[in-house]
Homo-oligomer: A and B are copies of this chain.
């Protein structure tokens, strides 16, 4: 490496081979426990590896074989829902040689492209993309280049596996809960979406669709009221401000994500309104904070942990067998009723 004195040269496979009195091929084979090594050879090599403290260079490996590196692209470290997914992913990786690296802060097509390219440039063995906004053609190309699992995008592509929550059904569950409590003016805050493709594939769009559909089937079509902001706390805050300014404000606000619901609660607190006395609030995701007593948010659990374990299982499968047909997993959400929803006044 350019920055270190020659004296601390890294131990290489050649050093190990010399120390063990065998060929580098032998060392390589033992390391990858490939076919054709005697147990005697294995023990000699392993001993040399331990004595010398040898560690294979992922860079050199990358030129021929795999890097044992997996990449996760997440849109936003601040959304704690993604931590649940990561937990699930990491769990399955314990005890394997794989190392997971993640990137954050991809909010647009350009930065997403930069990140996916960066991961491919670094010869990662597999990618997990969470709620990507890229165009299908780009995702398809990524999937053709490297084994890829896409989470949070209802895509019908064939080049990669997908894992999704049934967002349409989940939104329906929440509307049913609120309507069951007697609410009629149930408003929804969604993440603004204009791109026609994403309008059909992104979870936020499907939740809005599910809301619309459920309102109609509960005979509340005339009360459909959707505010488009963003899936952030700020988005929730501003969305709530807009809804409170309506001539006849809603009696319940169904936010498309828990972080959005937090922003709603922020605005309601500021306005001096009580929850659920004056107005009911619900979210989506069931982040850990939703169970936090001072908040106790009613929400929809999409099982982030299970999404993570499913995704990593699919990814490892696909690395083993890149040719197998794309899987399309859709997991069922469950409503979680806590303290922010109640009957209307």
* Interface residue ranges, A against B (CB under 8 Å): 1-4, 8, 55-60, 62-63, 65-67, 69, 71, 77-78, 80, 82-83, 86-87, 90, 99-105, 114-115, 117-118, 120-123, 144-147, 233, 262, 265-266, 269-270, 288-289, 292-295, 319, 322
* Pair A58/B293 contact, Cβ less than 8 Å: no
* Pair B292/A294 contact, Cβ less than 8 Å: no
* Pair A103/B100 contact, Cβ less than 8 Å: yes
Residues of chain B contacted by A1 (CB below 8 angstroms): 123, 145-146
Task: Give the interface centre of A3, A4, A63, A83 by most chain B CB atoms within 10 Å.
Answer: A3
Closest B residue to A320 by beta carbon equals: B3
* Pair A121/B57 contact, Cβ less than 8 Å: yes
7 contacts between A and B (CB under 8 A): A3-B146, A55-B117, A57-B63, A58-B59, A58-B123, A266-B294, A294-B294
Closest B residue to A265 by beta carbon equals: B294
* Pair A270/B288 contact, Cβ less than 8 Å: no
Report Cα–Cα, A123/B266, bound state, in Å: 45
Closest B residue to A122 by beta carbon equals: B58
* Pair A83/B90 contact, Cβ less than 8 Å: no
Given A55-B120, A78-B80, A101-B101, 4 more contacts at CB 8 Å? A59-B63, A90-B104, A266-B293, A266-B294
Of B67, B90, B103, B147, which contacts A122 at CB under 8 A? B67
Closest 8 CB pairs of A and B: A59-B62, A101-B101, A3-B322, A269-B293, A99-B118, A58-B122, A59-B123, A58-B121
* Pair B8/A144 contact, Cβ less than 8 Å: yes
* Pair A86/B90 contact, Cβ less than 8 Å: no
